[in-house]
A = this chain, B = another copy of it.
Amino acid sequence: MDARKRSILQVLTEDYILSAEPVGSRTLARKYNLGISPATIRNEMADLEDWGFLEQPHTSAGRVPSDKGYRFYVDELMARPAIGHDLLERIRATYQSRIRELEWFVHQTARLVSDITGYPSIVLAPSWELGIFSALRFVRLGPDQALLIMRTEDGLTQNRTVSIPSELSLAQLNELALEFSREFSGMAIRDLQNYILDPLSTSLKQHWSLWKSALGWLARDGSDEERMTLAGPLNILNYPEFNDIEKVRRVLGFLEQDKAVEQMAQTHPMTGGVTVLIGTETSVADIQDCSVVTATYQMGERIVGQVMVVGPRRMQYAYVMTVLEVVSDELSQALRWA
């Protein structure tokens, strides 16, 4: 792949990303001064098509990058501009008011990203189940009700109202909680559900129904059912490739299925940094006309969640990647203090 082919592929890809129209040799020669004639470009494009970087929707149309073409563009050709000053300010401002809770951050991040990229955006919140149990505490709310608060080492908390045996005092309750915390702290919350079934100490066993109710909470309320936040799904209606109502239904239908999206997210390497899946690389038939850009964010040193952008294959890769890089970074910063 010589320099000329590279620049043709690059220029063609960028033109198509903007125009959504198959790009012909004449257009290319006229619009960008490459110093070569349409005929030469045709020859080069024929080669690029042979090698699988380009495709033709039909014989008499221009060329369009294939998945492989986009991949090469993303990996080798694309320029990565620095983020604009205004945009950076806006992102930072979003996280400045840090009076909020994790869930709020997650929602806001999804909105922010879909807003500034113009694509649908998905944020996966930290998995509660994978968190490390740290401590348990009761707060009595009424004669037979208490607030049960559970905390992970990352500082995530879940709380809910539980019914308690009325004969227990607040002090007794918290003594129990302390015992429980000592016993199980350091254990992943997911594993907690297994271990707790066979309580080790008598005092825990004694108030079995209480723990069972707590368990019910762990298994359901605290589970990862609502880990996913989808923002701006309608954005895809702005792109002509989704003028087909059927396509829209397929894609948005997929994005609404939490489980499916979560599963797809797991195929991304959780190594930090931004990754791109192009078209069929996602291995999901419903979104084979889409690309997905993913970044991870952290609480402290641990990667706990992902920010994703889903768009048409001719996505503004460079821009989206830069945005996600910055956003996930700022989010991680914000969570450091949360």
Contact = CB atoms under 8 A, between A and B. Distances in A.
B237 A256 contact: no
Nearest to A221: B100
A99 B253 contact: no
Interface in A136-179: 137, 139, 141, 147, 149, 151, 157, 159-161
A221 B149 contact: no
Interface string A22-55: 0000000000000000000000000000000000
Interface string A82-120: 000000000000000101110010010000000000000
A80 interface: no
A139 B157 CA distance: 13
A253 B226 CA distance: 23
A160 B234 contact: no
Contacts of A326: none
A216 interface: yes
A140 to B, nearest CB: 9
A319 interface: no
A143 to B, nearest CB: 14
A245 interface: yes
A248 B101 CA distance: 34
A139 B170 CA distance: 12
How many protomers of this protein does the assembly include? 2
A58 interface: no
Given A141-B151, A149-B139, A101 B161 contact: yes
A7 interface: no
Contacts of A160: 99-101
Contacts of A137: 139, 141
Contacts of A217: 99
A221 B141 contact: no
A248 B220 CA distance: 35
A193 interface: no
A216 B99 contact: yes
Contacts of A147: 139, 149, 157, 159
B159 A220 contact: no
A248 B256 contact: no
A139 B233 CA distance: 39
Interface in A222-275: 226, 233-234, 237, 243, 245, 248-249, 252-253, 256
5 contacts: A99-B216, A137-B139, A139-B147, A139-B149, A233-B233
* 4 shortest interchain CB distances as A-B pairs: A139-B139, A237-B249, A234-B252, A99-B216
